[in-house]
Amino acid sequence: MNLYLIYGLENYLIDEKINDIIKKSKVESENIISYDLNDDSIFSVLLEASTVGMFSDKKVLLVNNSNFLCANKSLSEQELDELNKYIENPFEDVTIVFIVREEKLDSRKKVTKTLSKVSKVYECNKIDNYNMNNYISNYIRDKGYSISSESVDLIISKVGYELSNIINELEKLFIYKDTNKKITKEDIDNVITKNIEKNIFELTNAIVNRNKTKIMEIYNDLVLAKEDPIKLLVTLSNQFRLILQVKLMRQGGYSEKEIVTTLKEHPYRINLAMKSSFEIEDLKKKLVELSNLDYKIVTGEVDKFFGFEMFLLEI
């Protein structure tokens, strides 16, 4: 039976798996048909699956937003009956791929249990930050290149943790290093440019190090790039919260390795947090200040640009 069930929040991994299935099916592009169950009916999918083509019976049906397999959406009894009938007597030349871009399926549902039993199931959830280095290292090696762990850290620090962005930058590196397959820090600096996430990352580091000149320099760049101060506020709050967690765990006797494993963060971020000059009480105070600032911005009491800039100046 050519049934597949793909779910998760990592769009890059989902799209890669879909492409793999299409390649293996060896169907013509005109016989790859996409549906969206937010707009289309499951009846349309099953009708197409049961219809013989004029020139070829082979088809791939991509059923996006198959969220009837989750807790927040359901099919009618009639739709479920038709789906079960098809599962009992499927067309061998038709591949159906049910795609759910959600973290979890509702395993309590009968339809989820049934489809999970008869389908090839692939979970494509986000890679934990602390596992990202290994994933990227293996990806680079599988492509025939070599790289040090430190250089992988550099890529992540420049690009951020969004996998699709990292892969896009790696493709540039592969082209740049077409003949010499060893990727160095110099290659990374030459090829990979800063993005907004990198600037935000550098801003939080400058704040952690209390470098006011650097703070305002980076902040002004972000403003010019039309970055929303509310996003910066949330990112900064998360960074302060991470540093506080790390400081408290260190105080409780946890080793750096144990902190990385427990918090599931990349070792590079944990190491930076450990080096922060902020004390525990100061971190708590800053988190309260950021929470109050967020409230004032949301209620219109303070302009978001002015409020966030004042906070930075008082670091």
Spans of all domains in the chain: 3-123, 129-191, 196-313
Q: What is the pLDDT of residue 158?
A: 80
* CB of 245 closer than 8 Å to CB of 283: no
CATH class belonging to 196-313:
mainly alpha
Environment class of 171 (CB within 10 Å of its CB; exposed 0-12, middle 13-18, buried 19+): exposed
Give the domain 3-123 fold. Answer: Rossmann fold (3.40.50)
CATH of domain 129-191: 1.10.8.60
Report the alpha-carbon distance of residue 218 to residue 201 in Å, rounded. 10
The predicted pLDDT at position 194 comes to 58
**Which residues have CB under 8 Å from 160's CB, separation 6+?**
166, 195, 197, 198, 201
pLDDT tens, 273-314?
888 888 999 999 999 999 999 999 999 999 999 999 999 988
Mean pLDDT by runs of 10 across the 315 residues of the chain is 92 94 90 94 94 75 96 92 92 94 94 95 90 93 94 86 89 91 92 67 78 87 80 88 94 92 84 85 93 94 92 86
pLDDT score recorded for residue 44: 95
**Inter-residue contact 31 to 60 (CB < 8 Å):** yes
- Spatial separation of the C-alpha atoms in residues 256 and 274, rounded to whole Å: 8
Confidence (pTM): 0.65
Q: Can 3-123 and 196-313 be said to share one CATH topology?
A: no
